[in-house]
Amino acid sequence: MSRDDDALSWEGDEDPTLDVGTARRAPERVAPDPAAPVLPDGYTAVGRGSSEVVRPEEAAADDAQADAAQIGNVALVALGILGGVYLLYTIGWIIGGLRLQVIAPALLVSPVAYVPAFWLAVLAPFLWFSTTLLLTRGRPTWHRFAWLAAGAVLLVPWPFIMIGVVGQ
């Protein structure tokens, strides 16, 4: 019987060459009890009950981990929807800006100024979304959604809405 066929039978389970060792799991970090007393700076807990006392840096680290783990399925779905809205805004700025490119140099601005403004408008939704995610990492979730909602209102692709995809 070949080595590959050994997996299909119950024979030889006691073979020491097949032992992969014991699987070691990382010890699970138990979150401290919120009612546990917090130890002031410079003090050390000793004696009975000292294991229940939490150091300030551990309390801050646990709070940061709890905030990071607090984002749930609803928040992730909402972030995905808002990300899709911002992607559609980018596409809207591209289409609307290209349609406006025919009119803008004659009426509004020179072509030299139009091209950088066009690319800035195209990149604005991506920049707003990524900057908001980056700058609101340690803040409550509602801050992130407030800034993303503000961007969704401010970055509406007006050339696409006004002109649309219909040619002139």
Q: What is the pLDDT of residues 48-95, one digit of tens each?
A: 666 666 565 555 555 555 545 557 888 889 999 999 999 999 999 898
Q: DSSP 3-state assignment of 38?
A: strand
Indicate the average pLDDT of the chain: 75
Instruction: Compute the distance between CA of residue 118 and CA of residue 101 in angstroms, rounded to an integer.
Output: 9
Confidence of residue 45 (pLDDT cuts 50, 70, 90): low
Confidence of residue 131 (pLDDT cuts 50, 70, 90): very high
Q: What is this structure's pTM?
A: 0.55
Between residues 47 and 139, which one has the greater pLDDT?
139
- Per DSSP, the residues of 102-161 read TTHHHHT--HHHHHHHHHHHHHHHHHHHHHHHHHTTTS-HHHHHHHHHHHHHHT--HHHH
